[in-house]
């Protein structure tokens, strides 16, 4: 993007569009909103931050003790891929997670549609990969 007296010039691939400053501002705000999306599930939430990181949190929690920040969503996917077919919260402690964060993360894997697993047992909290 470049700024001109006529407005803001936006180039995408081989197409060029001139936007008014107001339209460019609306586009910027819409992009920021899309890149910082939070999705809430039953027990957890997932937030994509502007810096590219991904945060898993206990739904409704206000302290950082109830969240885990990943560099990006792919880091969370790699962690999931390393887990065995059936896994418990204890399996997540091998990744350096402690306390309630292990349970929160297991529940997030079960709730998030990107992870093909289901809750198998509540005691001990156990999930099983489906696909």
pLDDT (tens digit, 9 = 90+) per residue, 26-51?
A: 887 777 777 788 999 999 999 999 89
What's the pLDDT score for residue 1?
Answer: 67
CB < 8 Å & 24+ apart, contacts of 68-75 = 68/97, 68/101, 68/104, 68/105, 73/48, 73/114
Domain span at residue 45 reads: 36-129
Q: How confident is the model at residue 94 (pLDDT cuts 50, 70, 90)?
A: confident
* Percentage of the chain modeled with pLDDT above 90: 60
Q: 84 with 42, same domain?
A: yes
Going across the sheet that includes 125-129, the strands are 86-88, 125-129, 117-122
Tokens of residue 26, six digits: 């609306």
Contact 56, 64 (CB under 8 A): no
Q: What does pLDDT average to over the chain?
A: 90
Residue 71: how many other CB atoms lie within 10 Å? 11
Q: 40 with 50, same domain?
A: yes
Q: 55 with 100, same domain?
A: yes
Gap between the Cα atoms of 69 and 106, Å rounded: 15
Beta bridge partners of 114: none
What's the pLDDT score for residue 5?
Answer: 72
Q: 99 with 48, same domain?
A: yes
Gap between the Cα atoms of 69 and 80, Å rounded: 15
Token look-up 């803001």 returns 8
What's the pLDDT score for residue 113?
Answer: 96
Between residues 56 and 98, the one the model is more confident about: 56
């Amino acid at each position: 993007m470049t700024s001109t007296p006529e407005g803001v010039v936006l180039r995408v691939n081989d197409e060029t569009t001139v936007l008014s400053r107001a339209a460019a501002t609306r586009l910027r705000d819409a992009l920021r909103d899309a890149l910082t999306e939070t999705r809430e599930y039953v027990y957890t939430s997932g937030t994509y931050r502007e810096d590219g990181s991904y945060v898993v949190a206990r739904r409704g929690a206000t302290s950082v003790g109830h969240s885990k920040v990943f560099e990006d969503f792919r880091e969370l996917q790699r962690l999931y891929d390393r887990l065995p077919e059936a896994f418990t919260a204890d399996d997540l402690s091998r990744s350096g997670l402690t306390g309630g964060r292990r349970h929160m993360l297991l529940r997030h894997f079960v709730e998030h549609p990107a992870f093909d697993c289901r809750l198998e047992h509540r005691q001990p909290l156990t999930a099983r990969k489906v696909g």
